[in-house]
Amino acid sequence: MLVSVDRAETRVALLEASGTPAASRSTSTARKAASARKRDGAPEAGYRVAELYIERRGGRSIVGNIYNGKVDNVLPGLEAAFVDIGLEKNGFLHVDEIVLPGVETPRRGRGSGAGRKISDLLSPGQDIVVQVVKDPLKTKGARLSMELTIAGRYMVYAPTGEGIGVSRRLEDRERERLRRQTANLALDGGGVIVRTAAHGAKREDFERELKYLHKLHEVLDNRVRETTAPDLVFQEADLSVRVVRDIFSAHFERAVVDDEQQYRRLVSFFTRTAPELVERVELWEQKEPLFEAYGVDKAIDGLLSRRVELPSGGYLIIDYAEALTVIDVNSGSFIGRGKGAALEDTITKTIRMITGTVVSVSTLLINVGPW
């Protein structure tokens, strides 16, 4: 994992390497490799970019932020309320996302007719604590929820929840082991969800992190009492901390950071949550830029382009809308081969060329030839 920080943006790249997986290497081998890298000042060969995350200073996501908000308007016809959280546009809060202490608010669903009306739960001018679950987009404000969550490395703490849940992405045997490890944890109210990243974690890891999450919740409560709505009371971690929290594990060989301040932040985070991973965080001290040394800059140029060239001679045009991402597949200079070439064959071969290039699209539009 590479973390590059400058005054304009933070960039995180996940690289895949061939050879022996880091998890199977001995600690002494890993330390020798780290010493050799520092001595030679050059990265190991054989890496390719697998994932890339970019966060610009002026365009930082607010998902996960918690605000002390003020209800601006309640719309019974939409079963929703607009909440002033101090941003340019009010946030949108649906009735199904309302959680009030001591008040039963069963899920209504669309057209179910069940549950209490939003006008019985909220009123204009009321102060409520909300969390952003979706960023503002163009003319739409942020999507909000009153069901707060505070994410840690191994668990997500929900102050208004109850009990202990385990991620369904884990294998059944591991889920059972984690249930035993987390049985009778001192939740002190609320509930937790054990994350996929907790694979292999022990009870002491959960106890240590739960204390950390409870402390964060205590700080949150104090800020809510001390602030006047609308105001920000809890800000989600920046990009590099989120990525290492959610993804970095013993399966990664190391995390290399080119900024000393950010390096200290990551070391501090791992010290509190996963001390066994602290030695895998390295500070890049070479003159050559980190992303340039690993060839990531070239990958960025291709990823940020609206047009993606295909080996066949065709190309993709990628556009974003409010509700979907549109990928236009064009045959370009690929017009089929041979006198017997048919339109269907040209389309099929063009689409085959995008395998491995397009991952998870909402809508796929096909353009062939001049159309």
pLDDT of 131-143, one tens digit each?
A: 999 999 878 899 9
Of 246, 272, 241, the C-alpha closest to 257 is 241
What's the pLDDT score for residue 349?
Answer: 66
Strongest mean pLDDT among 36-50, 237-251, 297-311 = 237-251
* Residues carrying CATH 2.40.50.140, the chain: 66-145
Helix (H, G, I), strand (E, B) or coil at 82: strand
- Where do runs of H (alpha helix) occur along the chain? 27-40, 118-121, 172-182, 203-226, 239-246, 260-273, 290-293, 296-303, 343-352
pLDDT band with cut points at 50, 70 and 90 for residue 320: confident
Phi, psi of 233 (to 5 degrees): -115, -15
65-103 burial, b if ≥16 CB within 10 A, otherwise e?
A: bbbbbbbbebeeeebbbbbbbebeebbbbebbbbbeeee
pLDDT band with cut points at 50, 70 and 90 for residue 81: very high
Instruction: Kindly state the tokens that stand for 234.
Output: 């809890």
Expressed in angstroms, the distance from the first to the final Cα of the chain is 43
What CATH number is given for 66-145 in this structure? 2.40.50.140
Instruction: State how far the Cα of 229 lies from the Cα of 226, in Å rounded to an integer.
Output: 10
The length of the chain, given as a count of residues? 371
Q: What is the DSSP letter of 252?
A: S
CA atoms within 13 A on the CB side of 317: 8
Higher model confidence: residue 160 or residue 34? 160
Residue 2 bridge partners (DSSP): 13, 256
- The answer to whether 130 and 69 are in contact (CB under 8 A) is yes
Distance (Å) of CA 149 to CA 17, 132, 219, 274, 301:
35, 10, 14, 21, 36
- Which of 134-148, 205-219, 357-371 has the least mean pLDDT? 357-371
Q: What is the pTM of this model?
A: 0.74
DSSP 135-173: --BTTB--EEESS--EE-SSEEEETT--EEEE-TTS-HH
Q: What is the DSSP letter of 280?
A: G
Beta strand 163-166 with 191-194 is: parallel
Higher model confidence: residue 301 or residue 286? 286
Instruction: State how far the Cα of 181 lies from the Cα of 169, in Å rounded to an integer.
Output: 17
- The answer to whether 43 and 293 are in contact (CB under 8 A) is yes
Of 133, 122, 93, 96, the C-alpha closest to 111 is 96
Instruction: State how far the Cα of 4 lies from the Cα of 290, in Å rounded to an integer.
Output: 7
Instruction: State how far the Cα of 49 lies from the Cα of 196, in Å rounded to an integer.
Output: 23
Instruction: State how far the Cα of 332 lies from the Cα of 310, in Å rounded to an integer.
Output: 9
Question: Residues 19-42: pLDDT tens digits?
Answer: 554 444 444 454 555 555 554 555
DSSP 184-235: T----SSEEEE-GGGTT--HHHHHHHHHHHHHHHHHHHHHHHHS-SSEEEE-
pLDDT of 192 > 70? The answer is yes
